[in-house]
Amino acid sequence: MTDNPYAILGIAPTSDERVIRAAFLRLAQIYHPDRFAGLADDIRIEAERRMKEITAAYHALRVIMHLPAPRPTMSEEELEKLLAERRKEIAVRRAEQDADRVRWHRWEDLERRARERAQMEDELFGAVTRPHYAQQPARPEAVPQIPMTRQSLLARRLEEARKPRGSIPA
């Protein structure tokens, strides 16, 4: 009996888990004792021995594959150097986060100012374009519905500007 599980399964020592499992299944189909049930005792016993050998090799390789990799030992100098690098990376990351935070606050401030300016312009524009009777209507049906928008105000100003200056209103 060979003590090398790779030789028992007939695979290379650099094989991964898929190759190991495929080799085990292939050999298990060949040497499974149920296939030799009607044959002579010596053949059946040999198949059982080989099947036990294959199973033991497969389980040994599974244990080897699932062991954690040994951690390399570091000297104190290497460890301090690694820690210094990590501290620098953390400081750079924090500086980037702080710069992003400042930029976000600036952007939020600009957006807030733009919203306030737009609200103020809407209030001023509404006070200029709203007719005086629209503020306190006597009856809802008595108030004419005149849509006053910036575009209509601009159109009205352009129309007034296009009129000749010396013309007499009719």
Residue range 19-67, pLDDT digits in tens:
999 999 999 999 988 888 888 888 889 999 999 999 999 999 988 888 7
**Spans of the chain, pLDDT less than 50:** 1, 143
Q: Given this model, what pLDDT does residue 169 score?
A: 55
In angstroms, the CA 5 to CA 27 distance is 13
User: Does the predicted model carry a pTM greater than 0.85?
Assistant: no
In angstroms, the CA 53 to CA 139 distance is 102
Q: Given this model, what pLDDT does residue 24 score?
A: 93
CATH entry 1.10.287.110 includes domain 5-66? yes
In whole angstroms, how far apart are CA 147 and each of 126, 134, 159? Answer: 11, 11, 17
Residue 5 burial (CB count, 10 A): 21
What is the domain partition of the chain in residue ranges?
5-66, 70-130
Q: Given this model, what pLDDT does residue 39 score?
A: 86
Q: Given this model, what pLDDT does residue 139 score?
A: 53
In angstroms, the CA 14 to CA 11 distance is 8
